[in-house]
Amino acid sequence: MRKTSLERFRALITDEKERVDKSLVKHTKIIHHEGEDFGGDLAKAHSNHMADQGSDEFQYETTIHFATTEGRYLYQLDQAMQRIEDGTYGKCSGCEKQISLERLRAKLDARLCIECKEREERDRY
């Protein structure tokens, strides 16, 4: 990938990391708060959830899920940033071809080109 493109992606990933980071902090606070409402006893909160499908607990669980997904995404963005530093960003880890810029723009943390991604998904099912 050309240096100018790498620099552009570096800026995009930096922005994206900042955005995810902020939303992660916000949601981690909500989890902490909800945890206090349950007396910090997560196991008890979970068993209550089985008995009573309360909306608070529903929110509690989706919040955890969201934070986990966002947390994982943040990690992927860190990895992508590392590849920018190494100069390997945008190279498919399957076939080592250049991943299209359109694909990278849509998915900044993409590690596989479209062909390899589709093959991976076919193999999974």
Binding of Zn ion by 116 (CB under 5 A): yes
List Cα–Cα distances, 1 to 51, 62, 84, 102, 103, in angstroms. 55, 38, 10, 13, 14
Q: What type of residue sits at position 83?
A: R
Number of residues this chain uses to bind Zn ion (CB under 5 A): 5
Q: With respect to Zn ion, which residue has the nearer C-beta, 15 or 115?
A: 115
Alpha carbons 55 and 78: distance in angstroms, whole number: 34
Q: For residue 110, give both structure tokens.
A: 């993409």
Which residue's structure tokens are 């409402």? 37
Binding of Zn ion by 110 (CB under 5 A): no
Contact 73, 20 (CB under 8 A): yes
Nearest approach, Cβ of residue 111 and Zn ion (Å): 9
Interface pick for Zn ion out of 92, 104, 108, 110 (rule CB under 5 A) = 92
Binding of Zn ion by 95 (CB under 5 A): yes
Nearest approach, Cβ of residue 41 and Zn ion (Å): 47
Q: With respect to Zn ion, which residue has the nearer C-beta, 49 or 103?
A: 103
The binding site for Zn ion (CB under 5 A) comprises: 92, 94-95, 113, 116
